[in-house]
Each structure stands twice: as structure tokens, then as C-alpha cells.
Amino acid sequence: MCVLHISFRDMKLSVLVQMSKIMLMPLLLGYYLTMQTETGIFPLLVTAALIADTAGDAFLLSQNHRSFIAGSVSFSFGHIMYITYMFMHLHAPYLMIPVFILSFYPYYKAVGLAKKTSMKLLVCLYSGLLGILVMACCASGSLLASIGSVFFVLSDSMLGLNLVKQKYSPIPIMCTYIIAQLFIISGILSLQGAL
């Protein structure tokens, strides 16, 4: 489905782009649910994250200010669910401080960019949340989830730069987003011993 979605984007088939975009996270959720081995709150956190991200994808189909805010709020909720999951699976907490220090410069740059938009507070809060996501994934000890979180930063950085000045096409944004989600879910499954 990922390849089809990117192909539809490249061919500018907007109806198929929209349909395939909305299907990406539910398909990933189906994969996760068939592979996951945990019980209790853990599958609920991941399920909630992917449902929130599906809602975010749907909101971002509309190219307007309100939809962008709604999409950002949806993705923020999804990030909080992932962060909660990762903090409940800490295997390398000693990585939190170095990652926090390393994420300071990108956050500083995001705050600088935020000054040029009408959504300063949203961009600052969301950027901080992304930094916490990277920190939590690294502290979980999952290399896959850590790589995924960095790809999330790349994807959302391109989106953020597009707020200031259109620079990136949707294809690299979606490629990095898809890689981010696949790696985070694979990392979660690897933490469970399911991969």
C-alpha cells in the first residue's frame, strides 16, 4: 500500500492519494495487532496512537489552517501514546540525557522558524513533543523505534518548513512519514520479542 500511495502521488491521482493515505495506518495497525504479544494497556496505547495518526492523516488531506491544527493535535495525541509506551519499556534510560542535549539544537531551530508563522505556540509545543518522542524511543533501547522517531522529525520538519515557504513536495514528506511509522511499530514489536 505504501508503494501504491507514493505512486499515486507521483502520478497526481488525488482521489487515490486520499484513499490510500487514509488506509496506511489502519493496515499498519492490523499488522501490529496480528504480531503483538503483550496484554493490558500496551496494545491499547499503540492502537490509540495509530488511530490518532489516521485521524491526523485525514485532517491533513484538507489544505487549510483549521485542518492543519486538528491534524497536529491528532498527531500530538499519537506521539503521547508512543511516548507513554516507550517510557513503560525503558531499557536504556542512560540515553535520555545525551539525546536531550542533542535535540536541543533542532528544537532551537524549530522555535526560530515558529516565529515566522501564525502558529508559534503549536509549532513550539509540537517540536518539543517530537524531541521527547526521540528521547523516549532511544531510552527504550530499540534501535528501530529510535530510527523511526528520527524519521518522524525529518517528515515533520519538512512540513514545518513548508509552513514558512513551500520547499518540499509531498513525496519525501510521505516517504519519511511511512518509514517513521513502520520503524516505530517494528521497534515496538521487537521490544516485545515478536520480531
CA-CA distances (angstroms) from residue 148 to 55, 163, 180, 184, 187? 20, 23, 4, 5, 8
Query: Into how many domains does the chain fold?
Result: 1
pLDDT of residue 15: 87
Q: How far apart are CA 99 and CA 195, in angstroms?
A: 26
pLDDT reading at 163 higher than 80: no
Q: Are 123 and 160 in contact (CB under 8 A)?
A: yes
pLDDT reading at 120 higher than 80: no
Give the residue among 44, 14, 13 at the shortest CA–CA distance from 29.
44
Phi, psi dihedrals of residue 149, rounded to the nearest 5°: -65, -35
**pLDDT 10s digits, 32-74:** 999 999 999 999 999 999 999 999 999 999 888 899 899 999 9
Domain residue limits at 32? 2-192
The residue among 167 and 18 whose pLDDT is bigger is 18
